[in-house]
Amino acid sequence: MSGSDSSARRDLATVGILTVAFALLSVRFDLSESLLRWTQAREWLQLDELPQVLLMLAGLMCWFAWRRMLELKAELARRKAAEVGLAAALAENRRLGRQAVDVQESERRTLAREMHDELGQYLVAIRLDATAMRDEAGSVHARVMDAAGRIVRHVDHVQAVLRDIIGRLRPAGLDELGLAAALENCAEEWRRRLPEVEIELLIEGDLDDFGEDVSLALYRLAQECLTNASRHAAARRIRIALTEQRATDGTPSIVFCAEDDGCGTMVPPPAGGFGLAGMRERVQSLGGQFAIESGPGAGFRVRATISPSAGRVTVGASTDAA
């Protein structure tokens, strides 16, 4: 029995009990006779017509309540239909967002492969030729040796930039080595960039069986958290943990948690950063849950829970204080 049904039955019982009690009191004190005697003495006021008037008023009030009830039912039906339409629109919006992310990642993967296979090979060839020029020119061709050396240095710089761009377009080792290795590589790169910041990465469980969509989402979450914690939070310590958990029915899920000891911010951030919104949308498009905790001077904490089954659907958050 629902709470509303129980309350309605109690109220109906109260009405019945009060009606019976009033009937007993009327019999006990002869209320009708008393009222008749009182109204006969004041016939000029026509008080004896009052019971019929009150009965008519009660009937009209019942009609009024019935009309309002019909209007309320119609309004509830309209609101329910609007909620159903809104839920369908939200689901469609998330599906389109998921597809947009899939297309974006596919384009990034293709672009990274083409840059590595085409541009990277030509840079290697240029470097080999320049190195040969430098080594074979001899001391009598100092200018040629200097030019060749500059070419080698420029090519080394371009190759480093190219590796960085490819790494941002497509996580290094994600396809070949899996999510755990890609995250370790990402954390190591940030340790080299920020030697003064303590970066801790904790991975518990097997994360390689949850689908490409989930792996990419988790990697982008970690990447965004590291970027924003170092860029906006001035953090000295960053901790990222990924844990595989199982529900009571055996369904596995991945819990992502990133926290830092930076300056923190208001929740939600006043500026409503794109990184935070993008992370939330990415997690929710996978059917996951996303939450942030922060405060001025209290650091920043991001928590996301994603079910692997959501990552296998073919349709298609951040210490971002900015």
| pLDDT tens track for 201-233 | 998 887 777 777 888 888 888 888 888 887 777
- Any domain includes 316: no
Instruction: Lowest mean pLDDT of 133-142, 145-154, 285-294, name the range.
Output: 133-142
**Are both 164 and 224 inside the same structural domain?**
no
| pLDDT for residue 29 | 78
Average pLDDT, the chain: 77
Shared domain for 48 and 115, answered yes or no, is no
Percent of the chain exceeding pLDDT 90 equals 9
Same domain, 263 and 160: no
CATH number at residue 199: 3.30.565.10
Total domains in the chain come to 3
Highest-pLDDT range among 15-24, 37-46, 125-134, 155-164: 15-24
Cβ pair 321, 232 in contact under 8 A? yes
pLDDT at 236 over 80: yes
Please tell me whether residues 197 and 298 are part of one structural domain.
yes
pLDDT score, position 315: 31
50-114 vs 274-285: helix axis angle to the nearest 10? Answer: 100
Residue 256 in this model has a pLDDT that exceeds 90? yes
Q: Final residue of a domain: which of 138, 169, 200?
A: 169
Q: Which structure tokens are listed for 174?
A: 């994600």
pLDDT band at 88 (very low <50, low <70, confident <90, very high): confident
User: What is the C-alpha separation between 118 and 154, in angstroms, rounded?
Assistant: 18
pLDDT of residue 85: 86
Place of tokens 């991001």: 302
Residue type, 288: G
Shared-domain flag, residues 164 and 195:
no
- Which one, of 165, 161, 181, lies nearest residue 173 by Cα? 181
Q: What is the pLDDT of residue 271?
A: 47
Q: Which of 290, 283, 236 is nearest to 268 (CA)?
A: 290
Can you give the pLDDT at residue 220? Answer: 85
In a domain, 307, yes or no: yes
Question: pTM for this structure?
Answer: 0.55
The pLDDT value given to residue 24: 85
DSSP H or E run through 244: strand 237-246
| Local structure of 302: helix, strand or coil | strand
| Residue 191 lies inside a defined structural domain of this protein | yes
Q: Where in the sequence is the domain holding 154, given as residue range(s)? A: 100-169
Higher pLDDT, 68 or 123: 68
Kindly tell me if the per-residue pLDDT of 257 is higher than 90: yes
In 3D, which of 159, 145, 152, 157 has the Cα closest to residue 128?
152
Q: What is the pLDDT of residue 242?
A: 92
